Amino acid sequence: MSRLQGKTIFVTGATSGIGKATATAFAQQGCRLLVCARRQDRLDALRQELTQAGAAAVHTVVLDVQQRTAVETALTSLPAEWSEIDVLVNNAGLSRGLSKVYEDDPQNWEEMIDTNVKGLLYVTRQIVPGMVARNRGHVINLGSTAGHLTYANGAVYCATKAAEKAISEGLKLDLMGTAVRVTSIDPGMVQTEFSEVRFRGDADRAAKVYQNITPLQAEDVAEAIVWVASRPAHVNIHDILMTSIDQGNSLVFNRRT
């Protein structure tokens, strides 16, 4: 029997990409899935998929993590049977644009900072006190190779992922003396809707990101997330930095011609 069976898992940004793959992977372990995203129609479809995948139960919440009041209201009013979160996966995140800082649209900065940094903090602030009170739990944050090495035209996105790395490290230190674990999962290039979001729906430009290269798939990252969550309770995996075989870091790629 899986160590995770029956555990309550909360995944933010769960209706696409890494979030959806992660929710599905936990469902296959027989977990109870609390999932949030901004679109009700996608959540409705996801509920059915997670149930079919083996989830013990599914509860959906329409939520934009950028909105602090909405996060507080939604997470303080969860049904009692969903209020004790065993694993929080702070997956909601995005990138906007690929421009020089001095030429970029400040709206891009607002969205990235509000989602990748402040959204992560808002959700964490609501969930972690309960974990501390119960003296058990696991926070898994989605970082990036971009948080380890800055690349040109991506300064603000890289900064948000460097912030995620620092927040994860600091949270782990703050939780010393408790049995609550913290992990940062830092993938490189992953073939998801990420690039289409970055380029605001420009599918042709997004496709070029993955040309002549083998990227990670969302399922690869989900597998790593489930693995760290399923370690024995006394084992904490602090971080996993992962790329495909064709990526060395944020700057070095093997593109086949």
Q: Let me know: does 143 contact 137? Beta carbons within 8 Å.
A: no
Residue 126, Cβ neighbours under 10 Å: how many? 20
Residue 129, Cβ neighbours under 10 Å: how many? 10
DSSP codes, 118-183: IIHHHHHHHHHHHHHHHT-EEEEEE--GGGTS--TT-HHHHHHHHHHHHHHHHHHHHTBTBSEEEE
E strand residue ranges, the chain: 8-12, 32-37, 57-62, 87-90, 137-142, 180-187, 239-242
Sheet holding 87-90, edge to edge: 57-62, 32-37, 8-12, 87-90, 137-142, 180-187, 239-242
Q: Let me know: does 250 contact 228? Beta carbons within 8 Å.
A: no
All residues at 6 or more sequence positions from 40 whose CB lies less than 8 Å from its CB, including other chains: 62
Q: Is 122 marked active-site? A: no
Find the catalytic residue in 122, 151, 157, 210: 157
Tokens 């996966």 locate to: 89
Radius of gyration of the chain (CA): 18
Catalytic residue positions? 157
